[in-house]
Amino acid sequence: MALNMKEVEHVALLARLSLSDDEKKIFGEQLSSILNYADTLNALATDDVEPLTHVLPAFNVFRVDSIRPSMQQKEMLTNAPLAEEGQYKVPKIM
For position 2 contacting other proteins by CB under 8 A, the verdict is no
Answer for which of 81, 84, 85, 86 binds other proteins (CB under 8 A) is 81
For position 68 contacting other proteins by CB under 8 A, the verdict is no
Work out the end-to-end distance of the chain between its first and last CA atoms, rounded to an integer number of angstroms.
39
Answer for which of 71, 84, 85, 86 binds other proteins (CB under 8 A) is 71
Residue ranges that bind other proteins, judged by CB under 8 A: 3, 7-8, 10-12, 14-19, 27, 30-31, 33-35, 37-38, 40-44, 46, 49-56, 61, 63, 71, 75-76, 78-82, 88, 90-93
